[in-house]
């Protein structure tokens, strides 16, 4: 009966009728842990900010790789809603649709990349719990075009009906509150399919908008608009018979422009932002248009030249709206506000200032924080015309002063990110003394965390875009080194190496020598993430803090803080990164992964010699760390000279004699990363903490007996998308472990009281 009904409406039924599943995996925790976030505050691109149209104080954020957040208006904090999610690809959010009648109901379309599973999520309690409906149409919450409008929409006249404008498989429809989905066969564009390999992805359908005035309660809306961001002759389609038939809207803007976001007002005027690229980058042209849906008349209302993306209507005041520029305009990106339907505009950037004292990294070493870029999540509170928020490539700003915006006093914006930790963390370290945690992030450099509950200033002098490695001297933990990617905020020299002798309170830049004939890239020409093997090399410090080793293709060492450098002798071309013995300042190690040969230095890394070793697998070529953010599988224990650990593809190996002999400690686990923490009161040596893969499941484990046995310490409520990158164990607080995630910032766990 269901299929026959859909067929009458021109809908091709897919073989999909999927039941709800829970997001939690089986809980095999043996030790109770409590988990918290290390506070940074925002930090990443959040494409969408969505207010509930029916419940005051309710809003959602959709991030591109860090899950869904809900605003708790009583606690004044954003709550992460997917910490119990165990599917890594569900952390990229394609769209969020609050129910337009019942504030407790909300839907989300999830799928980070097109090559992995996607789903529609449904909640009856504002996202506290989710039902998961896996779907066959792929998504791209962290792909190009993630800045476009909300692709998922609920019919305000019949909330059992939902539409989803997919990227690769046309228009999808559900008539049972999202429980089952079928492709709308009558929609003229079936989708371009999922591109293979690294081919440029398509943006597909950019938004779905219902006209609430076109239907009656219970019967559904008759008029529906769908935007199309794929190449083609038409980019806006309309149905006036509840989806039975579709036709392109006449007299569209030029085909070179694609619609980004759209909203319709109570008079039937559809406002649309246009750009010449699906974004969020590559936009240089565009327009703002409005369509009188009753007469079909278009009006160009662009406030400036260039592209546009973010859009929001003031639901308290007809004809008042805001739009955000997106590249190519007459100045830096801004938000324009109009109170007369787009006839006249005011740029808010010139009227504004930012108070980012609560999230100081947003200064980026400058005197004033930037207004923003990638302003795509733009929303006026439907219950409060003065309250507006907008998202950028690094944060979310909010103010309650929009209704009074004029030139007489500045419009003050503050970071609206308390509770949001949407960042990709590359590396961590927890020294024996000083700050409990050092961090390296993608996009926002890194931090010295003296207080885990306070957003710290960004590490500077030099400042990095990405911080790739952090190391400290085990016997002189006040000495820290780090390496990373050049930041445009570095002045006057583009250092990508740095050291500190006061536990990270102050830093000095460092430059390793370049080979003869090497042409250094000028600072203003260095691109983001350029990955140069000499400029982007990693750095290691000896146990006593006196020797710095830089692992360029021809590695070098300095013992005088970079005044002079010596080329390291004796290492083959296929050696991995160099490792310092944590207890003996004269000893360093490296592995030739092509031949599974260990090389040892006993003169402070000036020369290395091959050392016979036994116990490692014969073939370890796949373990070689080849890119700058990779985990080094060879590690040195902090408390014993010559104790080495090797994270093998088939298990964990340990040596207690400087690498002469290795023995596998356990055969039932694969450790992806590990660190050493304070020993248990009656433990056997330092405690081990690891990101461990067992039976295909990534989790956080602890061993108190040198790897003989392991205990899982995170549970089904703290899966964090299983996107674990690194761990760092506290050297002074037993049981505390810091975990670097890809999208959910840094979390840390401690044994429960």
Parallel/antiparallel/unpaired status of strands 378-380 and 162-165: unpaired
Is the Cβ–Cβ distance between 691 and 684 less than 8 Å?
A: no
Is the Cβ–Cβ distance between 140 and 112 less than 8 Å?
A: yes
Which ranges in 264-413 belong to alpha helices (H)? none
**Sign, CA torsion 355/348/77/420:** negative
Is the Cβ–Cβ distance between 108 and 61 less than 8 Å?
A: no
Q: Which two tokens stand for residue 710?
A: 């392991």
| Strand residues in 368-496 grouped as ranges (E) | 378-380, 388-391, 396-399, 411-415, 425-429, 437-441, 446-449, 464-473, 476-486
Is the Cβ–Cβ distance between 152 and 108 less than 8 Å?
A: yes
Torsion, Cα 378 382 386 389, to 10 degrees, reads -20
The residue among 182, 92, 79 whose CA lies nearest residue 145 is: 92
What residues form DSSP beta bridges with 668? Answer: none
Backbone dihedral angles phi then psi of residue 520, each to the nearest 5 degrees: -70, 140
Q: Clarify whether 471 is annotated catalytic.
A: no
Cβ contacts of residue 196 below 8 Å, gap of 6+? none
Is the Cβ–Cβ distance between 59 and 50 less than 8 Å?
A: yes
Catalytic residue among 64, 381, 698, 715: 64
- Residue 9: how many other CB atoms lie within 10 Å: 17
Backbone dihedral angles phi then psi of residue 349, each to the nearest 5 degrees: -60, -45
The residue among 551, 617, 560, 553 whose CA lies nearest residue 580 is: 551
How many helices and strands in the chain, by DSSP H and E? 1, 56
Q: Clarify whether 717 is annotated catalytic.
A: no
C-alpha distances out from residue 103 to 95, 100, 106, 239, Å: 17, 7, 8, 27
Rg (CA), the chain: 28
Catalytic residue among 314, 443, 592, 715: 443
Catalytic site positions: 64, 443
């Amino acid at each position: 009966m269901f299929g026959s009904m859909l067929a009458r409406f021109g809908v091709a039924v897919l073989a999909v009728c999927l039941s709800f599943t829970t997001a939690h995996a089986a809980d095999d925790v043996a030790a109770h842990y409590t988990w918290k976030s290390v506070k940074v505050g925002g930090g990443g691109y959040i494409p969408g900010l969505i207010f509930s149209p029916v419940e005051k104080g309710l809003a959602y954020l959709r991030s591109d790789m860090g899950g869904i957040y809900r605003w708790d208006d009583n606690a004044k904090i954003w709550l992460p809603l997917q910490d119990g999610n165990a599917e890594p690809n569900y952390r990229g959010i394609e769209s969020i649709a609050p129910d337009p009648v019942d504030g407790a109901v909300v839907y989300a379309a999830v799928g980070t990349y097109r090559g992995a599973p996607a789903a529609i999520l449904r909640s009856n309690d504002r996202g506290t719990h989710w039902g998961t409906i896996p779907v066959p149409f792929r998504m791209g919450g962290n792909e190009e075009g993630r800045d476009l409008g909300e692709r998922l929409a609920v019919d305000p006249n019949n909330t059992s009906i939902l539409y989803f404008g997919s990227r690769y498989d046309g228009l999808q429809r559900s008539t049972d509150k999202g429980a089952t989905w079928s492709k709308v066969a009558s929609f003229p564009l079936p989708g371009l399919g999922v591109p293979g390999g690294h081919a440029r992805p398509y943006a597909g359908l950019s938004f779905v908008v219902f006209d609430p005035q076109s239907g009656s309660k219970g019967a559904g809306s008759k008029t529906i608009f769908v935007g199309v961001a794929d190449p083609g002759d038409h980019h806006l389609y309309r149905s006036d018979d509840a989806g039975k038939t579709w036709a392109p809207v006449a007299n569209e803007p030029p085909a070179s422009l694609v619609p980004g976001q759209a909203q319709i007002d109570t008079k039937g005027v559809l406002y649309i932002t246009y750009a010449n690229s699906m974004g969020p980058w590559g936009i240089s042209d565009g327009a703002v248009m409005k369509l009188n849906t009753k007469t079909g008349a278009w009006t160009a209302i662009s406030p400036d030249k260039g592209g546009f993306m973010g859009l929001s209507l003031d639901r308290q005041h007809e004809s008042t709206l805001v739009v955000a520029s997106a590249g190519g305009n007459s100045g830096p990106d801004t938000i324009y506000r109009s109170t007369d339907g787009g006839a006249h505009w005011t740029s808010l950037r010139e009227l504004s200032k930012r108070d980012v004292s609560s999230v100081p990294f947003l200064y980026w070493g400058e005197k004033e924080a930037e207004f923003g870029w990638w302003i795509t999540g733009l929303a006026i509170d439907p219950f409060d015309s003065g309250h507006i928020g907008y998202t950028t490539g690094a944060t979310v700003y909010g103010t309650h002063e929009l209704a009074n915006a004029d030139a007489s006093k500045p419009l003050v914006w503050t970071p609206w990110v308390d509770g949001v930790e949407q960042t990709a963390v590359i590396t961590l370290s927890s020294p024996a003394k000083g700050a409990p945690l050092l961090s390296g992030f993608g996009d926002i450099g890194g931090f010295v965390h003296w207080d885990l509950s306070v957003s710290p200033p960004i590490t500077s002098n030099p400042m990095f875009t990405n911080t790739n490695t952090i190391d400290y001297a085990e016997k002189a933990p006040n000495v820290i080194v780090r390496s990373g990617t050049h930041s445009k905020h570095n002045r006057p020299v583009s250092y990508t190496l740095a050291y500190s002798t006061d536990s990270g309170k102050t830093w000095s830049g460092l430059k390793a020598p370049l080979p003869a004939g090497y042409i250094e890239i000028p600072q203003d020409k260095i691109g983001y993430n350029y990955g140069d093997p000499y400029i982007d090399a990693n750095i290691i410090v000896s146990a006593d803090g006196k020797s710095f080793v830089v692992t360029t293709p021809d590695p070098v060492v300095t013992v005088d803080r970079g005044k002079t450098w010596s080329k390291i002798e004796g290492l083959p071309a296929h050696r991995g990164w160099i490792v310092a013995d944590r207890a003996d300042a004269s000893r360093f190690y490296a592995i030739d992964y092509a031949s599974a040969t260990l090389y040892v230095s006993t003169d402070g890394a000036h020369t290395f010699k091959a050392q016979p070793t036994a116990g490692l697998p014969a073939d370890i070529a796949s373990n070689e760390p080849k890119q700058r953010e990779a985990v080094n599988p060879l590690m040195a224990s902090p408390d014993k000279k010559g104790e080495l650990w090797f994270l093998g593809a088939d298990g964990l190996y340990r040596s207690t004699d400087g690498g002469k002999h290795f023995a596998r400690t356990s055969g039932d686990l694969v450790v992806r990363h590990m660190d050493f923490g304070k020993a248990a009161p009656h433990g056997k040596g330092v405690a081990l903490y690891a990101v461990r893969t067992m039976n295909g499941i990534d989790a956080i484990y602890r061993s108190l007996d040198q790897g003989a046995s392991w205990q899982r310490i995170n549970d089904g409520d703290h899966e964090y998308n299983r996107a674990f990158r690194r761990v760092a164990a506290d050297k002074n607080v037993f049981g505390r472990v810091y975990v670097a995630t890809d999208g959910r910032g840094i979390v840390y766990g401690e044994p429960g009281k």
